[in-house]
Amino acid sequence: MEGERTSKDDWWDRFQKLLDDQNEWPTDYTFKFIAPAARVDELKAVFGQVDLSVRESRKGKYQSVTAVMNMHSSDEVVAMYHAVGKIDGVIAL
Protein backbone atom coordinates (compact mmCIF):
# COMPACT_ATOMS: atom_id res chain seq x y z
CA MET A 1 0.00 0.00 0.00
CA GLU A 2 1.12 3.51 -0.71
CA GLY A 3 2.87 5.26 2.13
CA GLU A 4 3.63 2.08 4.09
CA ARG A 5 7.21 1.46 5.06
CA THR A 6 8.75 -1.94 4.57
CA SER A 7 11.59 -3.71 6.31
CA LYS A 8 13.56 -3.08 3.09
CA ASP A 9 13.03 0.68 3.57
CA ASP A 10 14.22 0.34 7.16
CA TRP A 11 17.32 -1.53 5.99
CA TRP A 12 18.21 1.25 3.55
CA ASP A 13 17.65 3.87 6.27
CA ARG A 14 20.01 2.00 8.63
CA PHE A 15 22.57 1.57 5.85
CA GLN A 16 22.43 5.27 5.00
CA LYS A 17 22.86 6.24 8.66
CA LEU A 18 25.86 3.89 8.88
CA LEU A 19 27.36 5.52 5.78
CA ASP A 20 26.93 8.96 7.32
CA ASP A 21 28.39 7.83 10.64
CA GLN A 22 31.47 6.26 9.03
CA ASN A 23 32.25 8.72 6.23
CA GLU A 24 33.00 12.38 5.83
CA TRP A 25 31.54 13.61 2.56
CA PRO A 26 32.80 13.93 -0.10
CA THR A 27 34.79 10.70 -0.06
CA ASP A 28 36.01 7.99 -2.40
CA TYR A 29 33.59 5.08 -2.03
CA THR A 30 34.31 1.55 -3.23
CA PHE A 31 31.47 -0.40 -4.85
CA LYS A 32 31.92 -4.17 -5.35
CA PHE A 33 29.61 -6.50 -7.23
CA ILE A 34 29.43 -10.00 -8.64
CA ALA A 35 27.57 -10.11 -11.96
CA PRO A 36 26.71 -12.70 -14.56
CA ALA A 37 29.14 -12.16 -17.45
CA ALA A 38 26.20 -11.36 -19.74
CA ARG A 39 25.15 -8.44 -17.47
CA VAL A 40 28.50 -6.71 -17.01
CA ASP A 41 27.90 -4.23 -19.85
CA GLU A 42 24.68 -3.12 -18.13
CA LEU A 43 26.61 -2.70 -14.90
CA LYS A 44 29.31 -0.69 -16.67
CA ALA A 45 26.62 1.59 -18.12
CA VAL A 46 25.42 2.51 -14.62
CA PHE A 47 28.92 3.70 -13.73
CA GLY A 48 29.46 5.65 -16.95
CA GLN A 49 33.03 6.82 -17.51
CA VAL A 50 34.37 5.46 -14.21
CA ASP A 51 37.33 3.10 -14.55
CA LEU A 52 36.22 -0.30 -13.34
CA SER A 53 38.27 -3.25 -12.24
CA VAL A 54 36.75 -6.40 -13.74
CA ARG A 55 37.87 -9.93 -12.95
CA GLU A 56 36.43 -13.04 -14.52
CA SER A 57 35.53 -16.13 -12.49
CA ARG A 58 37.41 -19.35 -13.14
CA LYS A 59 34.68 -20.74 -15.43
CA GLY A 60 33.85 -17.34 -16.95
CA LYS A 61 30.19 -17.35 -15.94
CA TYR A 62 30.56 -14.45 -13.51
CA GLN A 63 32.71 -11.37 -13.13
CA SER A 64 33.60 -9.32 -10.10
CA VAL A 65 33.36 -5.60 -10.70
CA THR A 66 34.91 -2.93 -8.49
CA ALA A 67 34.39 0.80 -8.92
CA VAL A 68 35.83 3.62 -6.83
CA MET A 69 33.86 6.84 -7.14
CA ASN A 70 34.00 10.19 -5.41
CA MET A 71 30.63 10.49 -3.73
CA HIS A 72 29.26 13.63 -2.14
CA SER A 73 26.63 12.10 0.14
CA SER A 74 25.09 8.88 1.35
CA ASP A 75 22.12 9.70 -0.90
CA GLU A 76 24.40 9.33 -3.94
CA VAL A 77 25.73 5.98 -2.70
CA VAL A 78 22.24 4.62 -2.07
CA ALA A 79 21.08 5.87 -5.49
CA MET A 80 23.92 3.92 -7.15
CA TYR A 81 22.95 0.74 -5.31
CA HIS A 82 19.31 1.22 -6.36
CA ALA A 83 20.35 1.73 -9.99
CA VAL A 84 22.48 -1.42 -9.95
CA GLY A 85 19.71 -3.29 -8.16
CA LYS A 86 17.59 -3.06 -11.30
CA ILE A 87 20.00 -5.37 -13.14
CA ASP A 88 19.02 -9.03 -12.82
CA GLY A 89 21.51 -11.34 -11.15
CA VAL A 90 23.91 -8.71 -9.78
CA ILE A 91 25.00 -9.19 -6.17
CA ALA A 92 26.40 -6.32 -4.10
CA LEU A 93 29.27 -7.21 -1.80
Q: How far, in Å, are 54, 62, 63, 89, 92 from residue 33 at the CA level?
A: 10, 10, 8, 10, 4
Q: Tell me the per-residue pLDDT of 15-39, one tens digit each, with 9 for 90 and over.
A: 999 999 999 999 999 999 999 999 9
Domain count of the fold of the chain: 1
Residue 4 pLDDT exceeds 70: no
Helix (H) / strand (E) element for 52: namely strand 52-56
- Domain membership of residue 83 (yes or no) is yes
**Helix (H/G/I), strand (E/B), else coil: 93:** coil
- Which of left, alpha, beta for 57 (phi over 0: left; psi -120 to 50: alpha)? beta
- Domain membership of residue 87 (yes or no) is yes
For residue 60, give the CATH number of its domain: 3.30.70.120
- Domain membership of residue 7 (yes or no) is no
- Domain membership of residue 16 (yes or no) is no
Give pTM, 2 decimals: 0.88
- Domain membership of residue 5 (yes or no) is no
- Domain membership of residue 6 (yes or no) is no
- Domain membership of residue 18 (yes or no) is no
